[in-house]
A and B are shown apart, each in its own frame.
Chain A
């Protein structure tokens, strides 16, 4: 189930942004800087952690959130395309979940603009992602005594699918960048030069601004299609199911990812994707919505060439004329935006899950 969200305000802002770009100075963009601290409820986050890594949250109990959002990859997918649910593939690269709690719009096409509660529900129930009937999920959790205790300790009462949708976002709050040279003021000279280019000649700041280094708005940069989406029927079926459900016209004959067009069904939004954050890029390769660019130097080269080919490409993109050393400096700056890996037991549930559901004793006498 997907709700096409109204992002009228975001659209207006995007339009204004384009206008500003022509006349305004770089300084008129929200400055890049450290992320705000989030208040975290420990018990809720710990519960969310156990849920995040639990395969019982998928329909056939085969995959967990972490199968597509891999901790070592900054909680993004390992390969260009996310693996998706067993029996199908996927058509996009799973976005990094690091700092996702700081966003206000989710998915590469921006189709969720409410909160992580809704986003969690989307990922768990969507048939090509985790294909979970959340009513079954709830009853699975109630069959696990440790969950019964953890939900209670977290103040949620008995396990419920509503509380799952709160606990996982609480865990996601803990996935906030920490210790990057950019944040700690320990950038190299090269990275500092790169930051100047970032805000100036290279123009990255036009879209990659604010503490997340993204305007969280849709843009078309002309990233080439990943043909594996359409040449591999496993990926293609996930794309088709998605596009059918979203009500995208002529979806069976579509040979491209429509991106933000999915939200508005307006031609001007074809091929636009929400600007990704630039934090934790060190871990999250390959890049772009479809993983088509493998390395950071390649990303810089892509923009140095003025982006890719698309009649709907953003006017902000022009060849940059960066020298070889400038490109190196820019890469150094991008690398300085990555902090410590968010792995290890502080972030990853590393205790075993029960192999089967323990029986509730005296079943006929106790309340369900």
Chain B
């Protein structure tokens, strides 16, 4: 699939979602693309879609939600055996008490490695039409698989992970109940995990309540912040709609993480990613900043672009940006206020691709405070969860069965 083909449909999908939600329609993002396009054309003239209350998450028709599937997915999400050396599962880098993410700039990565991007929260991930910072996969199902298998993530392979499931009687029973298969299949593990993740949504934030008519849900300061968000600060240009993201790709000027200059292990991973994701020889030798969306289509104008992240649940998901360079939301606001520069004046490694939307904002200290107060309204209560008990391995055969097989040889 070419990226050029994807981009317009992404915009259409994002806009369609907003319109449909506003109409209280039952359709999801999976709904009619044609209807979306005609409405998109209408809305395009009136600027970005407004922030909107979050509707129910889209459920793909080929992976319906059932309580048993969700329960299975929950156990699998927390099971480190879905990874190379049985130490690294989904929750290893998406810890509930770290915002369902990992509270360091780079995700922790597989033992012996470190990742090169920030772990994103699972909360509301159900609404994204593409996952990962460069949008490299089109579904949660494919995200789970990629993360479990990536060399600096789960580093697992299908055959060993599926074999582990086969040797856990609790899973054999649950997979059979949910998917009807005699043996657990690894593809079904990703389906179950995705079903669980589609329950991890937050739709009752102060902002949602406010947008649904409860004017007391935001403070006066937050209302002022919202006006800045929609106006002078220009956040709404990309952070719009129900998820406060247009799900498009931009280079906003985030500087490379300094760990690449200071940490040998991070340097190993950096080069590995260039190598693994496909670079020209010269590109491999000279690249010193994450090319991001470039990897999707290998167009040089896409270097340094990343998908607009949702602003929901961000109270709990620091640090911020694709490489976690900002540890507080204050730093983020200051970064935008400077027009995409950090406090040392550093910016993207690909300044030629920096979005024209990013300009110095001229916010006063008070305005920054107001904006920060409003950003808090994108998060509700922290979503905590006890880790479920893990079903145990057990031998598949009895000694008597093995002896009989030996006798029959």
Q: Which residues of A contact B (CB under 8 A)?
A: 56, 58-62, 85-88, 127-128, 131, 133, 135-136, 138-140, 142-143, 222, 224-225, 227, 230-234, 236-238, 240-242, 244-245, 252, 255-256, 271, 309-312, 356-360, 363-364, 367-368
Closest to B267 in A: A360
Contact of B396 among A88, A233, A234 (CB under 8 A): A233
A255 touches B402 (CB 8 A): yes
Known: A86-B86, A230-B402. A367 touches B285 (CB 8 A): yes
| Distance of A359 Cα from B287 Cα, bound (Å) | 17
Beyond A143-B268, A357-B264, whether A236 also contacts B151 by CB under 8 A is no
Decide if B288 touches A364 in the complex (CB within 8 Å).
Answer: yes
- Bound-state CA distance A56–B325 (Å) is 28
B160 touching A237 by the CB < 8 A rule? yes
B284 lies within 8 A of chain A by Cβ? yes
**1/0 contact string of B133-170 vs chain A (CB within 8 Å):** 00000000000000000011001110110111011100
Q: Provided the pairs A367-B285, A368-B285 are in contact, do residues A135 and B264 lie with their beta carbons within 8 angstroms?
A: no
Q: Does B35 contact A (CB under 8 A)?
A: no
Are A87 and B163 in contact, with the CB atoms below 8 A?
Answer: no
Report Cα–Cα, A135/B269, bound state, in Å: 10
Question: Which B residues fall within an 8 A CB radius of A?
Answer: 81, 83-87, 110-113, 151-152, 155-157, 159-160, 162-164, 166-168, 183, 260-265, 267-272, 274-276, 284-288, 393-397, 399, 401-402, 405-407, 409
Known: A59-B84, A136-B152. A227 touches B402 (CB 8 A): yes
Q: Which residues of chain B are within 8 angstroms of A231 by Cβ–Cβ distance?
A: 395, 397, 399, 402
Kindly list chain A residues whose C-beta atoms are within 8 Å of the C-beta of B159.
127, 240-242, 244-245
Contacts across chains A and B counted by CB atoms under 8 Å: 168
- Chain A residues near B84 (CB, 8 Å)? 59-60, 85, 87, 127, 131
Flag if A62 contacts B85 (CB, 8 Å): yes
Decide if the interface of chain A is mainly helix, strand, loop or mixed. loop
> Is A256 within 8 A of B85, CB to CB?
no
Interface contact B151-A87, CB-CB below 8 Å: no
Question: In the complex, what residues of B have CB within 8 A of residue A222's CB?
Answer: 409
Closest B residue, CB atoms, query A311: B409
Chain A: CB-nearest residue to B276: A135
Q: Which residue of B lies closest to A88 (CB)?
A: B160
Is there contact, CB below 8 Å, between B86 and A60? no
A59 touches B160 (CB 8 A): no
Does the CB pair B85–A86 fall under 8 Å? yes
Question: A135 near B162 (CB under 8 angstroms)?
Answer: no
> A237 contacts B271, CB within 8 Å?
no
Write out the residue numbers on chain B whose beta carbons fall within 8 Å of the beta carbon of A136.
Answer: 113, 151-152, 268-269, 272
Query: Once the chains are docked, how many angstroms separate the CA of A127 from the CA of B160?
Result: 7
- Tell me which of B87, B157, B270, B399 has the highest count of chain A C-beta atoms within 10 A of its own C-beta: B157
Residue in chain A with minimal CB distance to B256: A364
Do A139 and B402 touch across chains, with their CB atoms under 8 A apart?
A: no
- Minimum CB–CB distance for B186 against chain A, Å: 10
Query: Quick one: given A142-B271, A368-B287, are A363 and B260 in contact (CB under 8 Å)?
Result: yes
Given A87-B86, A364-B288 in contact, is the A61-B111 Cβ separation under 8 Å?
A: yes
23 A-B residue pairs with CB within 8 Å: A59-B85, A60-B111, A88-B160, A127-B156, A127-B157, A138-B272, A138-B275, A139-B268, A139-B275, A143-B264, A227-B402, A233-B394, A236-B167, A236-B396, A252-B396, A255-B397, A256-B406, A256-B409, A357-B264, A357-B268, A359-B263, A364-B261, A368-B286
Contact flag A256-B110 (CB < 8 Å), given A237-B163, A245-B159, A359-B263: no
B272 and A255 contacting across the interface, CB-CB below 8 Å = no
Residue in A135, A233, A256, A367 whose CB lies within 8 Å of B393: A233
Residues A237 and B268 in contact, CB atoms below 8 Å apart: no
Q: A231-B399, A368-B271 are in contact. List 14 more A-B contacts (CB 8 A).
A: A59-B155, A60-B110, A60-B112, A60-B155, A62-B85, A131-B157, A225-B405, A233-B168, A237-B166, A238-B160, A240-B166, A357-B264, A357-B267, A363-B288
Instruction: Please tell me which one of the listed residues A131, A252, A309 contacts residue B409 in the complex, with CB atoms under 8 A apart.
Output: A309
Contact of A356 among B166, B167, B260, B264 (CB under 8 A): B264
- Whether A252 lies near B286 (C-beta < 8 A) is no
The 5 A-B residue pairs whose C-beta atoms are closest, nearest first, are A357-B264, A61-B112, A87-B86, A133-B151, A240-B163
Query: Is the beta-carbon distance between A62 and B162 smaller than 8 angstroms?
Result: no
Across the interface, do A244 and B267 meet the contact criterion of CB distance under 8 Å?
no
